[in-house]
Amino acid sequence: MPPTPDLAWELERTRSTYPLPDVPVALVAATRTTWTPWDRRWVRRQRGLAARLAQDHPRGSAGVTLEVLQPCGHLVMRHRPEAVVAALARLASQTSTA
């Protein structure tokens, strides 16, 4: 277990028991307006998570997308609801054509 548990670690642990199904996966990450060192680190971590998901996904990188929203606060669904709806619509269209 990492020094500070986080969602990415929990997801990886869960995937060892329950593999990813053959459905599209979308990650939506948020950063502030200015690209601070924290923002750059956060985006790198999200890209890493997307890459790890793609390694385990039945469709590989074609099954996983990452969208980084900037500017956006911590609560993506509150700060950028239109982007969340658009991401869900893209997932729905990928699922219906899969």
Distance of CA 25 to the CA centre of its chain: 7
Q: What pLDDT, in 10s, does the model give residues 44-84?
A: 989 998 998 899 899 999 999 999 998 888 889 999 999 99
Burial 73-98 (b: 16+ CB within 10 A, else e): eeebeeebeebbeebeeeeeebeeee
8 A C-beta contact, residue 67 and residue 83: yes
What distance separates the 2 farthest-apart alpha carbons in the chain? 41
Instruction: For residue 1, name the pLDDT band (cuts at 50, 70, 90).
Output: very low
Q: What pLDDT, in 10s, does the model give residues 21-50?
A: 898 999 999 988 667 898 888 889 899 989
User: pTM of the prediction?
Assistant: 0.78
**What are the start-end ranges of the E strands in 24-96?**
25-30, 64-69
User: Would you list the domain boundaries of the chain?
Assistant: 23-97
Handedness of CA 91, 95, 96, 98 (dihedral sign): positive
Residue 72: closest CA among 62, 81, 60: 81
